[in-house]
Amino acid sequence: MSIDDIIAKGVAKAVKELYGVDTDPSTITPQTTKKEFEGNLTVMVFPWVKVARKSPEAVGKEIGDWLVDNEPAVASYNVIKGFLNITIEPTFWTSVLEHIAQQKDYGITPQTPDSPLVMVEYSSPNTNKPLHLGHVRNILLGSSLCRILAACGNNVVRTNIVNDRGIHICKSMLAWKKWGEGATPESTGKKGDHLIGDFYVLFDRHFKDEVKQLEAQGMTKEEAEAASPLMQEARAMLRAWEAGDKEVRNLWATMNSWVYDGFDETYRRMGVGFDKIYYESDTYLEGKAKVLEGLEKGLMYKKEDGSVWADLTEQGLDHKLLLRSDGTSVYMTQDIGTAKLRYQDYPIDKMIYVVGNEQNYHFQVLSLLLDRLGFKWGKDLVHFSYGMVELPEGKMKSREGTVVDADDLMDEMVNTAKTVSQELGKLDGCTPEEVDEITEIVGLGALKYFLLKVDPRKNMTFNPKESIDFNGNTGPFIQYTYARIRSVLRKAQEAGMDMTGFTGVKPGEREITLIQRLADFPSVVQEAGRSYSPALIANYAYDLVKEYNQFYHDCSILKEEDPAVRSMRLELSAVTADTIRTAMGLLGIKVPERM
C-alpha cells in the first residue's frame, strides 16, 4: 500500500470516529506539501468543516491529533488555514523504499481478461511522400500513448490508416510515368518513400509552370489551375483508378509497395509499430455502403443532385456532405468505413484518434455520425488533438519540398549527438561500435523527449541543437544521469557491497525527498493515461533526475562508512535507475548503460 493510500485511509477513519461521517478513502487525495511549508503530504479538510461545525483550523488540528495518536506512519503535523500538512515518520520512508524495490514492474498495472480494449490510431501517412517532422510528433505521441494506456492496465491495439488513394497519389504516379525513366529504389539507391516524394515535388513544379503560362495568356489563377493539362491528366488517372483500370492499378500497387518498404524502415528505426494497418483504398467503399444504409433508415437525406447529407443542426452543428452528387466519397465517409471494419475486427471499448488540432471539427462530426449509425463507442471516441510542430525557420510545405524528412532528421540528431558527446568527452574509452550504439540511443532519445515533453495540445518549435543539451530538461540529461547511476552500481557490485540490511535506517531529508518522488510514480502514470499526456511522464522523469542529482551531490554513496546507510543509498540509486528506465520506456526512449 502506498503512503498516499495509508494517509487517505487514516484520514477517513479519523473523520468517521471524530464526526461520524463515512468517507470513501479514494475521494481523499493527499498532495505533496509545497516546499515553503513543513511536511511531506497535505490534505484539505474543507469537506468536513460543515458537518463538524468548526473552523477549518480546528478540524485540521483534530484530524492531525488523531493521526499522530493512531497512525504509526505519521510523526507530526501543522495546519495552515484548511490545509493539514503531515510529516511522515522518517523510518517509515525506508519501508516505502523496500516496498518499491520488491515490485518487479513498479508503477505498471497488469492487464486482465476484463481490461478495456482501447484502439489508438496514429501516423496516418499519405503514400505520395516520406514521413516528415509533423508525422514524427504524431507517431511519437501515438506510440507513447499506447505504452502509457497499457501501463494503466488497458489492452491496447495500435492501428494505422494509410491514405493510399486520391489525386495526390495520382500526381506522383503521373510524374513517374512522364519523367521517371523507369526509376526504382534499387536503380536509384533511394528509399522508396523518398523516391516517390521526389516525383510529387516534380509534378508540382511542372504544374506551377503550366499555370504561369496560362495566366500569361490572360487566364485567372483559378481558371489556369482548372485548365492545366497536367492536372487534367492526373484527374483522368484518378478516374481510371476508380474504374479499376488494370495498368493504372498495377502501377499504383508497385509504387505504393516501394513507399511501404520505406515507411517500415523509418518505423523500425523510430522503435514504433502497429498491430493492424488499414488502407483507405479498402475502407472508402465500406463507408459508402454504411452511409447508404443510413440513408435507407432515414438517418441521412439526399438532395436533388443526388448528394447525400447528414443534418446535425440539432447538435449545434451544420449539414455535412457524405457522398458527392457523382457518388464519390469524402474523408468523413472513409472514416466511417474504417470504423466499420475496425468494429468488425475488434470488440473496441474506446477509440482514440491521434490527429492534429486542425481536424477538431471533423472529429466532432465523426463522433455524432458513428453514434447515429450504431457504433457503441462512437459518442465517446477520443480525438487526441495535438498542436503543430514547426522549425525555427517556420512552416514546412510538402509540395515545395521544404519539409524535413523523418529519416534526415534522425540522421542529423544522431550526428549531432556524436559531435556533442565527443566534445564533452562522454565517449572516451568507447569502441567505435559502442560509440555508434550510444549516439543512436542519445540522438533519437533527444528527438523523442523534446517532442514529448511539451503539452500535446500546444504548438511547438523543434530546435535540434537545444534538444541535444546534456543539461536542463532534455533526453540526454536524463540518459546521462541513468548511465551515472548504473556506473555507481557496477562499482558497488565489483567491490562486493551489499544493498540489503537497511531496515529501520533513518533517512535524511534528501533521501526522503527522493523516496517520496519515487512513490509518486504510479499515480503519475495513471494521470498520464487519464489525461492522454506523455508530457506528464517526461517531466516526471526530469524532476526525478534532478532530485537524484541533488541527492548524489549531497550524500556520499560508495564512500559512506555506515554499511546500513550505504546499503540504503545503493538501493535508492537502483530503484531510481529502474524508475527512470521505466518512465523513459513509456516514451519509447532507450537509456544507455554507459556514457
Report pLDDT digits (tens) over 332-341: 999 999 999 9
Same domain, 379 and 364: yes
CB 552 within 8 A of CB 511: no
Give the confidence band of 364 by pLDDT, cuts at 50, 70, 90: very high
Residues 478 and 396 in one domain: no
Give the C-alpha separation, 579 to 365, whole Å: 41
H or E element: which one contains 545?
helix 534-554
Q: In the numeric block, which cell numbers belong to residue 182?
A: 523507369
Please identify which residue in the block is written with the cell numbers 513507399: 259
Mean pLDDT of the chain: 93
How many degrees, rounded to 5, is the angle at CA 120 between CA 115 and CA 125?
Answer: 160
Answer yes or no: do 573 and 466 share one domain.
Answer: yes
Which amino acid would we find at residue 246? Answer: K
The upper half-sphere exposure of residue 40, i.e. CA atoms within 13 Å in the direction of its Cβ, equals 24
Residue 228 lies inside a defined structural domain of this protein: no
Q: Among 374, 404, 434, which residue terminates a domain?
A: 404
Number of other residues whose CB lies within 10 A of the CB of residue 498 = 13
- Counts for the chain of helices (H) and strands (E), in that order: 22, 14
- The average pLDDT across 297-317 equals 95
Residue 190 near residue 184 (C-beta atoms within 8 A): no
Closest to 312 (Cα-Cα) out of 268, 369, 358, 258:
369
> Which amino acid is present at 91?
T
Please indicate, yes or no, if residue 545 is contained in any of the structural domains.
Answer: yes
Q: What is the pLDDT of residue 401?
A: 47
* pLDDT mean over 514-536: 96
> Do 375 and 363 share a structural domain?
yes
> In this structure, what CATH number is given to the domain that contains residue 302?
3.40.50.620
Structural domain boundaries enclosing 506: 406-586
Whole-model pTM: value is 0.91
Residues 331 and 423 occupy one common structural domain: no
pLDDT band at 257 (very low <50, low <70, confident <90, very high): very high
DSSP 297-350: TTSSEE-TTS-EEEE-GGGT--EEEEE-TTS-B-HHHHHHHHHHHHHHHS--SE
* Residues 139-183 pLDDT 10s: 999 999 999 999 999 999 999 999 999 899 999 999 999 999 999
In angstroms, the CA 446 to CA 570 distance is 28
Whether residue 375 is found in the same domain as residue 496: no
Residue type, 521: F
pLDDT, tens only, 4-27: 899 999 999 999 999 999 999 999
Chain centroid offset of residue 374 CA: 29
Whether 336 is covered by a domain: the verdict is yes
Beta bridge pairs of residue 117: 155
Q: DSSP string of 105-140?
A: TTT-BPP-TTS-EEEEE----BTTS--BHHHHHHHH
Question: pLDDT of 38-47, one tens digit each?
Answer: 999 999 999 9
Residue matched to cell numbers 524502415: 265
Please tell me what DSSP assigns to residue 359. G
Give yes or no for residue 397 having a pLDDT over 70.
no
What was the pLDDT predicted at 394? 52
**Among 373, 404, 435, where does a domain finish?**
404
**Which residues are paired to 461 by β-bridges?**
390
Q: Are residues 435 and 573 in the same domain?
A: yes
Q: Are residue 443 and residue 540 in the same domain, yes or no?
A: yes
Q: Strand 83-88 relative to strand 74-80: parallel, antiparallel, unpaired?
A: antiparallel
352 & 441 share domain = no
Of 21, 53, 88, which residue sits at a domain end? 88
Q: Round to whole Å and give the CA distance between 595 and 483.
A: 6
538 and 389 fall within a common domain:
no
Q: What is the mean pLDDT of residues 254-261?
A: 97
Whether 269 is covered by a domain: the verdict is no
Establish if 592 belongs to a structural domain. Answer: no
Residue 491 lies in a domain: yes
Report the alpha-carbon distance of residue 406 to residue 188 in Å, rounded.
Answer: 20
576 with 458, same domain?
yes
**How far is C-alpha 334 from the geometric centre of its chain's CA atoms?**
25
Query: 547 in a domain, yes or no?
Result: yes
Cα(138)–Cα(121) distance, rounded to whole angstroms? Answer: 10
Q: Which amino acid is at 550?
A: Q
438 located within any domain: yes
For residue 400, pLDDT over 80 is answered with no
The tally of domains found in the chain comes to 3
Asked if residues 42 and 32 have their Cβ atoms less than 8 Å apart, the reply is yes
At 595, is the pLDDT very low, low, confident or very high (cuts 50, 70, 90)? Answer: confident
Residue 423 grid coordinates: 566534445
How many CB atoms neighbour CB 395 within 10 A? 11
Same structural domain for residues 286 and 430?
A: no
Q: Worst-scoring range by mean pLDDT, 84-93, 126-135, 305-314, 422-431?
A: 422-431
What DSSP line would sit under 421-472, residue for residue?
Answer: HHHTTTTTT--HHHHHHHHHHHHHHHHHHHHHSS-TTS-EE--HHHHT-SSS
Spatial CA neighbour of 99 closest among 509, 519, 485, 486: 519
Q: What's the CATH code of the domain at 52?
A: 3.30.1360.70
Mean pLDDT, range 113-125, rounded to an integer: 95
Higher-confidence residue: 110 or 428? 110
Q: Which residues are CB-neighbours of 427 under 8 A, at least 6 positions away?
A: 418, 421, 434, 435, 438, 439, 595
Domain of 555, CATH number, reads: 1.10.730.10
